[in-house]
Amino acid sequence: MKKLSIFMVLVMLVSLLAGCSTKKEKSTPDSESSMVTTAENEGGEEEAEEQPPAEEEVVEETFDFGGMEVVVASPWATDLTPGSSRGNDMLIERIAEVEEKYNVKIIYKDCSDDQIGGNYFQLAVQGMLSGETLGDLIYCRTGDYVAWKDAGVLQDLNPYAHILNLDNTKKWSKLILDNTTEGNETYGLATNPIPLYTFITFNKRLFDEAGLDYPYAYIKNGQWDFNKIAEVAKKLTIDTDGDGTVDQYGLTAYSPASLGQSMIIANGGRMIDHEKGKPLFVADEPKTMEALNIFHQWYNVEKFVVPLQEGEWDSQVKLFESGKVAMMAGSDWMLTRFNNNLEDEFGIVFFPQGPSSDGTYKSLIPKLSFYVLPVSTTKDKEKLLTVYAALTEPYYDDPLEGYIEGIEERVHDEESLQTLIDYQKEENGGELVFSPISNYALDWSAPEDIRVSPTLFNRIVEGEAPSAVIEEKKAAIQQYLKDMFGE
């Protein structure tokens, strides 16, 4: 496989670091059970009864790592201000516990571009290649992962599986482990739960004014599919002031590409096949083409989706916040904004099923983020990973409890909360599916004319037939993948 140029290891980001709780070991009791007189027998003689052993003293095992610094590097500042949030206070407490237990100094390093004098992702890989790493644990995202792995700068974590307890998928995200494991080698670590990127958020006021049932009813009766959301969205796409121009739409998304990819996943399709170790562009497969044709229909024939617009990166989010769109394919990160900026109540349901769905409600995960260990670090890797394992122990017996605690303040009803829980647990029809478009540099880092996201989707939105777009670009995209990632 060909090595990648440093230029190609730039791209996308977003988030994660979880916190957690250290396990305690009990000491062996060193005292004998005591005897007490508790009752008298019929002869008036006292009878001694054995009292249960006194509770064993809990002793925290300590280690001495000699004051070693453990640097966690990411492209933003980690807020460690006491009192700023419950989550921050828990992290601050955890850092202090782990530092004391292991005699280490834990540093969350702000590697934002202005702090390090350049692009984080470019400088991160340069540092790993040279041995001058930005940190001991490096934030990575799917847009850079394949390039970094193929450049040979990432440490395989499987030799340390006993330290990390990699089999514990209650702690570690299975989705991330699966997508950062190549054969017998594993490279990425992230704790559960991961951020959700795709579900339908709807404006209750607009549904009420139109006399429509909330989508919960369609989930309950098994009708929540592409046909039903189109039927509802068309009724909610109207000219509210009578001037002849539509000013309220039924549906929008963060971008046409995010909606299109979500529809492909919901229909059981895919754009990239990477199951055999090399990426193949397979957007002409039947389920994918079926979803793309419906995507084209929604934008160009039925016209209930907000048209493609030039504007700020969050223009569609702002449009939903204005109360002029009934439904939006939303994400976790939008919920705080909706609560702050949308005057109306909103609800959350699964993304609908496509006509070729297997019966589950799939949520697109377009990108993953996690931490990696540089192979070139000069510090003791066992000690580094021992500290990181302790630092990321779950705060709760069930890591999802923390997610629920944080998210329930941002949703408005039990149905919405249950939808997000079902996605995270992959229960009651909810399923998370990762699409590796960004893994193989087919988004903003690719040449513009062969970008799958957003260029190909934008061309379809502007009226071109999906089959013509895919046929025109398939060979060029496959050649690009071959040049980038080898035969």
Per-chain mean pLDDT for the chain: 87
Does residue 485 register a pLDDT over 90? no
Mean pLDDT score, 306-311:
86
Task: Give me Rg for the CA atoms of the chain.
Answer: 27
pLDDT of the residue at 51: 58
135 pLDDT tier (thresholds 50, 70, 90): very high
DSSP string, 156-209: --GGGHHHHTTT-TTTB-HHHHHHTEETTEE--B-BSPPPP--EEEEEHHHHHH
Q: 17 versus 156: which is more confidently predicted?
A: 156
Is pLDDT of 329 > 90?
A: yes
Q: How far is CA 185 from CA 146, 160, 376, in A?
A: 13, 11, 17
Q: Which residue has the tokens 């302790």?
A: 390
Q: Is the pLDDT of residue 261 over 90?
A: yes
Q: Is the pLDDT of residue 445 over 80?
A: no
User: So what's the pLDDT on residue 40?
Assistant: 33
Residue 73 has pLDDT above 90, yes or no: yes
* pLDDT(312) > 50: yes
Q: 């490279």: which residue's tokens?
A: 187
In the chain, what percentage of residues exceed pLDDT 70? 87
Residues 184-208 have a mean pLDDT of: 96
Give residue 31's pLDDT. 34
Is the pTM here over 0.85, yes or no? no
pLDDT per position as a tens digit, 7-25: 333 333 333 333 333 333 3
At 33, the pLDDT band (50, 70, 90 cuts) reads very low
Q: What is the DSSP letter of 140?
A: E
Domains located in the chain, CATH noted: 9-23+60-193+368-395 (3.40.190.10), 199-365+413-485 (3.40.190.10)
Q: What is the dihedral of CA 327, 329, 332, 334, to 10 degrees?
A: -60
Task: Report the pLDDT value the prediction gives residue 152, as an integer from 0 to 100.
Answer: 95
pLDDT computed for residue 469 by the predictor: 97
Q: What is the mean pLDDT of residues 275-285?
A: 86
pLDDT given for residue 1 in this prediction: 40
Question: Per-residue pLDDT for 3 more than 50?
Answer: no
Q: Tell me how far apart the alpha carbons of residues 118 and 124 are, in angstroms, rounded to a whole number.
A: 10
Average pLDDT over residues 326-348: 96
CA distance 19 to 21: 8
CA 396 remoteness from chain centre = 19
